Amino acid sequence: MTLALTNVDTGVSIIGAGPVGSLLAGILAHNGVDVTLFDKEHNTLEGPRAMTVNARTAQILDIFDLRENLLSSPPMFHGHYGHTKVDLSTVDTPWPGMWKIQQQDLNNELLIWAIESGARLIRAAKLTNLSTNLDGYVEAEFEGAAKSAASRIVVGCDGEHSSVRSMTGLGEEVSSGHRRFITANLRASHLPTFRFEKFSEGAVVSTGRIDEETYRIMMHLPAYVPSLSTTEDIERAWKMITGVPLQGKVQSWGLQTDRNQLATSFNSSRVLLAGDAAHSQLPVGGCALNYGIEDAFSLAWRIALCLKTDTLDLFDDYSTERKFAAHRMQKFVRNQTEDLYGERPSVERTDATDVESKPNNFAEFLSGVDIDYSSCGTKASTLLHSAEITGDTQQRKLKDAQRTFSYCIPSSGEIDKPLDFAQNEEAHRLLPTGNEEISKAELTVRPDGYLISGM
């Protein structure tokens, strides 16, 4: 239900009802947190945006019983790192592969789920000011359907040009881009297949089929293509680059550069950032949305715990871990960008050659399951992988435990019934395996599936 309210009193305000804000609102509402989503638009953003989700996102959706419905078509078992094809089928995760789904569809489903779980949605409410008062409340002011909101925590999921980021003084580290790109969706029955096909003066074109009637094109624009402002300009640019007319009707399009933006910190007291508000870059390798989904998942349990204990310590960990992950991801994006659009052949760069010698590392990167936080100064290390717990039943129980943010207390090799996260004071979950080899070790696993001790 979309509401129009004047003054809102809520536990958590989420600014931005994109996919990241919607998932975060859904998880929090699912766990009984009073949460309100504000968005400046009347509807979910349309246009050419993310099209694939990876294994880690599939796992997160599965925890909330959203996977089966959203990812109904079979996964693809290969991806690409730059030009190199990577086999995803052997990655140790419950859901290996990559799924096609249009961002708008994912966004709308997550939004419906969030509202059904109890989140409020206030549309046409544009954030105009943020301030923290001495009572530990953050006051947000809006233009439009809401006037103000007082909440214990505010999360900026308001995209690349985040108002929350700039209003909070959370700076940004920017590496300026020098390449221009256009991404467009068009209605067409057939387009030639180009996979990063090089044309004159550095122009590069890719095409991909979305469904029976829709194609996605991406063009790296050379200097001779003037600025674009209409769909006719896009058709003209295509013809200038490829030499043939564009056989289709442009439905939506967006301009991008290879600029990277990374917030200096993802938290400032009670204000947090997630998704594109915290990190944005060229969508090479399909990382952007998936990293935002992981931000939301990694933040939700911390918010629930912080609200309960009124301590903010866990937000520093969140910022350290997710900034570390985003920084690393942006390095991989830059390398792939050079591989796909640069002058030098890919073989000159070490990680391009590594793809061939260590394909599984890159399969894990593309699947979103390879992040190891042990080197960034927090207590967590790697994600708990399927092989570390045995049997379907235990996997199932791990999922159940995560769904309710519970901790499992070990007894005689069996997992005890999950406890309610909200009633458990301990900041860890103990998971026995019943497996002879590792039964002596006790796994301490966080609600987001990261190991904090054991093994």
DSSP 314-376: HHHHHHHHHHHHHHHHHHHHHHHHHHHHSSS-GGGSHHHHHHHH-HHHHHHHHHT----GGGG
**Cα torsion 322, 328, 331, 333: sign:** negative
Work out whether 292 is an interface residue with ligand FAD (CB under 6 A).
Answer: yes
Tell me how far, at minimum, the Cβ of 328 lies from ligand FAD, in Å.
16
Size of the site for ligand FAD (CB under 6 A): 34
The residue from 35, 37, 39, 403 that contacts ligand FAD (CB under 6 A) is 39
The residue from 183, 367, 394, 402 that contacts ligand FAD (CB under 6 A) is 183
Work out whether 298 is an interface residue with ligand FAD (CB under 6 A).
Answer: no
Closest by Cα among 372, 358, 373, 279 to 320: 373
Q: Which is nearer to ligand FAD, 38 or 318 (CB)?
A: 38
Work out whether 275 is an interface residue with ligand FAD (CB under 6 A).
Answer: yes
Q: Which is nearer to ligand FAD, 39 or 364 (CB)?
A: 39
CA distance 116 to 125: 21
Site map 416..445 versus ligand FAD, x via CB under 6 A: ------------------------------
Tell me how far, at minimum, the Cβ of 15 lies from ligand FAD, in Å.
5
Work out whether 368 is an interface residue with ligand FAD (CB under 6 A).
Answer: no
Q: Which is nearer to ligand FAD, 93 or 185 (CB)?
A: 185
Radius of gyration of the chain (CA): 22
CA distance 357 to 338: 20
The residue from 49, 397, 429, 446 that contacts ligand FAD (CB under 6 A) is 49
Buried b (16+ CB within 10 A) or exposed e, 220-246: bbbeebeebeebebbbbbbebbbeeeb
Residue with structure tokens 């961002």? Answer: 103
Structural tokens at position 274: 């997630």
The residue from 100, 126, 236, 428 that contacts ligand FAD (CB under 6 A) is 126
Closest by Cα among 119, 63, 31, 39 to 293: 63
The residue from 8, 19, 299, 451 that contacts ligand FAD (CB under 6 A) is 19
Q: What is the contact surface with ligand FAD in residues (CB under 6 A)?
A: 15-21, 38-41, 45, 48-51, 103, 126-127, 157-159, 163, 183, 254, 256, 275-276, 283, 286-289, 292
